[in-house]
Amino acid sequence: MVSTKFKNYLFEEYGIKFKNETLLEEAFTHSSYVNEHPKESVGNYEKLEFLGDAVLELAVSDYLYRHFPSLNEGQLTRLRSNIVRTEGFSGFAIECGFPAEINLGRGEEKTGARERKTLLEDVFEAFNGALFLDQGMDAVQKFLKLTVYPLIDSGEFTDSRDYKTDLQELLQVNGAIKIEYQVLEETKLPSNFKVALFVEGKKISEGSGHNKKAAEQVAAKLALIKYQEK
Q: Is 125 known to sit in a ligand binding site? A: yes
Closest CA to 3 of 24, 20, 34: 24
Taking CB under 8 A as the rule, does residue 47 contact its own copies?
yes
SS3 (DSSP) at 43: coil
Taking CB under 8 A as the rule, does residue 57 contact its own copies?
yes
Query: Among residue numbers 115 through 144, which ones bind its own copies (CB under 8 A)?
Result: 132-133, 137
Run of H or E including 158 = none
Length of the chain: 230
* Residue 97 or 199 having the CB closest to its own copies: 199
The strand pairing partners of 197, in sequence order, are 181, 205
Q: Provide the CA 95 distance to its chain's centre, in angstroms.
A: 14
**80 vs 8, 91, 190, CA distance in Å?**
31, 16, 29
Of the residues 186, 203, 210, 225, which one makes contact with its own copies according to CB under 8 A = 186
Q: From CA 15, how far away is CA 129, in angstroms rounded?
A: 17
Binding mask 159-178 toward its own copies (x if CB under 8 A, else -) reads -----------------x-x
Q: Is 162 known to sit in a ligand binding site? A: no
- Name the site residues for its own copies (rule: CB under 8 A): 46-47, 49-51, 53-55, 57-58, 60-62, 65, 72-73, 76-77, 80, 132-133, 137, 176, 178, 180, 182-183, 186, 188
Catalytic residues, which ones? Answer: 53, 125
